Amino acid sequence: VEGGAAVIGACVRDNVVDRVLLTLAPTLASGVRPAFGVSDSGEKGGGGAAAGLAAPQFRLEEVETVQLGDDVVVTGIPTRRA
């Protein structure tokens, strides 16, 4: 599954992925407000818990990283944060 924070968060929350692969590019978007956080109903929100969305938090275990040109790829197994 390819997507941003909302799609990745929903897939991890719903337990439909075994491993996450994130590609980080050294590019900053100026003036853009990302839609962080996903409510239990799958609705996007702007600010997670600060906006009243108690989105579950996950950590990656067995983390591996590799640099591909200027990008960094991070992979790991998502686990629910206690």
Rg (CA), the chain: 14
**pLDDT value at residue 67:** 96
Q: Helix or strand or coil: residue 62?
A: strand
- Report pLDDT for 30: 72
Nearest to 44 by CA among 80, 8, 78, 19: 8
Q: What is the pLDDT of residues 27-78, one digit of tens each?
A: 877 765 655 544 445 554 544 444 555 666 888 999 999 999 999 999 999 9
**Residue 34 CB contacts under 8 Å (≥ 6 apart), including other chains:** 4, 5, 46
pLDDT recorded at residue 33: 60
Q: Which token pair is 42? A: 């799958």
Task: Check residues 79 and 4 and name the one with the higher pLDDT.
Answer: 79
> According to the model, what pLDDT value does residue 72 have?
95
Q: What is the pLDDT of residue 48?
A: 46
